[in-house]
Structure 1
Amino acid sequence: MGSLTAPKIAILGLGAVGQMLLYRLKATGAEPLALPRYQNSLPEQLHFIDRCDEGHEYAPIAALPEQLDALIVCTKAHQVVEAITPYWDSLRPDCVIVLCHNGLGPHLELQPKLAPNQSLLLATTSRGALRHDKYRVEQTGTGAQDIGLWCGPALNPELEAKLAQLFEVSEFAPNIEESVWAKLVVNCAINPLTAIHNCRNGELADTRYRETLLSLVSEVSQVAQMQGFNLRFKDCYARVLTVIHLTAENYSSMHQDVHLKRGSEIDAITGYVCRMGAELGVDTPVNQEIWDKVRRLERLGF
């Protein structure tokens, strides 16, 4: 790795989460390094509104891929491989890759491309962030974050400590894939239903959604358990109800993607569960039905 005391970390993907992490980089004393997507230039200025309603304006700095110790990819799941490909050959063979998106799947696509000494990490965040416009983001809620090693060698302690500081965790998750699956259960239950029914998260607390929520959570927890993850149905369902309550006024990211006619992460969320279920011999008929409905909505709109 390059500098042991000041690892160079960059963000690829300046959506709401990407901008929130980029601001966190600056707040932790690191340079707000970013890589543009599709050979575009970086914006001259970003505006971040924190939980205290204080505005912070700052300029992102263009990163040099060959100098990076870690690259955090914050695009939508289906954009990950396309976004990172133009930079792949320029990255150092020991550059750590961190994937921060909803769902799963891109980690399996990237694994064969990794160099022998390259590590791949997964990260999750449940902190609400709202884009008022393209480069103006407000943090609208708090929530758990996790980051951990999925494959590859252990990280240099200085880099691991900096990434833990960036994600505001005391230590790396010992089983990050299980942590991602715990969030995946919530996403499978809430995101597609809010897109299909054109509603805020809180409306799913209505009794008319109870049977569907129970079925969705049951199927996902069964698939997770077949992979050896300790995600019991009762705990998963309680977590879903808690998130519905805590984010009652929010529109899910999938609702926004479908409503704005952008590609959603349905294939990396519900689709991933259905594919894994098929491989493991676990039936997922309700998730399959939901997956089909969202894909039709993406084609046709509300």
Structure 2
Amino acid sequence: MTTTWHILGPGAIGSLFGCYLQQAGFGVHLIGRNGGGPQTIELVESDIITRHQFEEAPPDQPISHLLVTVKAQQTLAAIEAVRPRLAPQPRILLLQNGMGAWEAVAERLRGAILLLGTTTEGANRPAPNRVIHAGSGETYIGALETRHQTEAEALCRQWANLPLTLAADPNIHGRLWRKLAINCAINPLTAIYDCPNGDLLQNPHALAQMEAVCTEVEAVMTQVLGEETRGLFTLAKSVAAQTGNNISSMLQDVRKQRTTEIDFITGYLLEQAHRLGLACPSNQALLNQVKQM
């Protein structure tokens, strides 16, 4: 029997994964802000365009496999909207920026098998029905609870025919922390200075702030992960250079006057720092500035 995936939040990444899952033979239904009506998406890869038609899900069809790609701050509301349709023990994969949303989901859905993912696939959506695959990356999946790691491994086997570099990671928590650290170092500063990632490297004041942020993040990560964390400032500068023309999602939200993910990036870091009794004044200052924008 073919597995059917429901995708909650078919933005750029959600739509990309939806197209890939459909190409691999899975049933796919998209659930956007206006429900799960039929939708056509054009997937652009280099000079090749493929059209994917997604049908509306039957209203009485239980959701057994759910891919969540909404922004972190939208997660709970989005989950609550589909909660009546969830199967008794659904497989739910959260593929988002930031950290902390899964804790609230786990509290609400105690019977669910929660998987966490992170991807560096590049995608953008210039129009609601058009997705451009901007660059290949790597995708890692792990379990929120160790006892469910076999489910992450099974999912990677299930997705083996998708055109992704995909692997199960038993230390997904550490991988997500490293991604969070880079987001803390870059995203708030791009929002404050209203610039692409790479422009931070030409701004001495921004670089000084980035270095201070990285020092604080290293102290928190060392305590949380139980291993010394170093070299974050160098890594953050390297990522900013590699993604020089990129407009961070946080800056995009600020420009469009939308709520940002700051509470699930810098805010999450500060929550963990407070729990550990560590002061992070540089990160606190950035959080305050972004929330006032």
Pair 1:197 & 2:180 matched: no
Distance 2:225 2:36 in 1: 44
* Post-superposition offset of 1:29: 2.5
Query: Would you say the 8 A contact 1:178–1:230 is kept in 2?
Result: no
What is residue 15 of structure 2 aligned with on the other side? Answer: 19
**Which runs of no fewer than 5 residues in structure 1 stay unpaired?**
298-302
Letter in 2 for 1:260: K
After superposition, the Cα gap between the structure-2 partners of 1:245 and 1:96, relative to the gap in structure 1 and judged at 3 Å, is same
In structure 2, the residue matched to 1:213 is 210
Q: What is the alpha-carbon distance in structure 2 between the residues aligned to residue 46 and residue 132 of structure 1?
A: 12
Q: Distance in 2 between matches of 1:175 and 1:132?
A: 34
Separation of aligned partners in 2, 1:156 and 1:130: 26
Q: CA deviation at 1:163?
A: 4.3
User: Which residue number corresponds to residue 279 of structure 2?
Assistant: 283
Q: Which amino acid aligns with 1:221?
A: E
Aligned-pair Cα RMSD in Å: 2.2
Q: Does residue 1:84 correspond to 2:79, yes or no?
A: yes
Unaligned runs of at least 5 residues, structure 2:
none
| Structure 1 position 222, deviation (Å) | 1.6
TM-score by length of 2: 0.90
| Alpha-carbon distance in 1 for matches of 2:259, 2:23 | 31
Counterpart-to-counterpart distance in 2, 1:283 and 1:233? 18
Partner residue, 2:55: 61
Match of 2:246 in 1: 250
Give every structure 1 segment of 4 or more consecutive aligned residues whose post-TM-superposition deviation is greater than 4 Å: 163-167
Q: Identity across aligned pairs (percent)? A: 31
* In 2, Cα distance between equivalents of 1:53 and 1:186: 32
Match of 1:225 in 2: 222
Distance 1:76 1:167 in 2: 24
> Aligned AA for 1:243?
V
Specify whether residues 96 and 61 from structure 1 end up closer, same or farther in structure 2 by C-alpha distance, changes over 3 A only.
same
User: Equivalents in 2 of 1:238, 1:164: separation in Å?
Assistant: 34
Cα distance in 2 for residues equivalent to 1:188 and 1:106 = 16
Q: One-letter code of the match for 2:82?
A: Y
Against the structure 1 CA distance between its residues 166 and 266, is the aligned structure 2 distance closer, same or farther, given a 3 Å change threshold?
Answer: farther
Deviation at 1:121, TM superposition (A): 0.9
Query: Post-superposition shift, 1:17?
Result: 1.3
Match status 1:126 vs 2:123:
no
Alpha-carbon shift at residue 160 of structure 1 (Å): 4.1
Report what 2:180 is aligned to.
184
Q: Which amino acid aligns with 1:161?
A: R
Q: CA deviation at 1:156?
A: 8.2
Q: TM-score, structure 1 length as denominator?
A: 0.88
Please state whether the residue corresponding to 2:75 is helix, strand or coil. helix
Deviations 1:43-73 (A, max 9, x none): 53112212x2322221123345754432011
> Given that residues 69 and 96 in structure 2 are in contact (C-alpha distance below 8 angstroms), is that contact kept between their aligned partners in structure 1?
yes
The amino acid that maps onto 1:283 is A
Q: 1:290: Cα distance to partner?
A: 0.4
Name the one with the larger strand percent. Answer: 2
Task: Sort the Cα spacing of 1:229 and 1:139 in 2 relative to 1 into closer, same or farther, 3 A.
Answer: farther
- Measured in 1, the distance between the counterparts of 2:229 and 2:153 equals 33
**Other structure's SS at 1:233 match:** coil
User: Does the Cα contact within 8 Å between 1:145 and 1:167 map onto a contact in 2?
Assistant: no
Distance in 2 separating the partners of 1:179 and 1:30? 28
CA distance in structure 2 between the aligned counterparts of 1:231 and 1:44, rounded to whole angstroms: 48
Q: Evaluate the alpha carbon distance shift between residue 77 and residue 183 of structure 1 in structure 2; reply closer, same or farther with a 3 A threshold.
A: same
Local SS of the residue matching 2:70: coil
Instruction: Name the amino acid aligned to 2:268.
Output: Y
Q: Is the 8 A contact 1:195 1:258 kept in 2?
A: yes
The amino acid across from 1:142 in the alignment is S
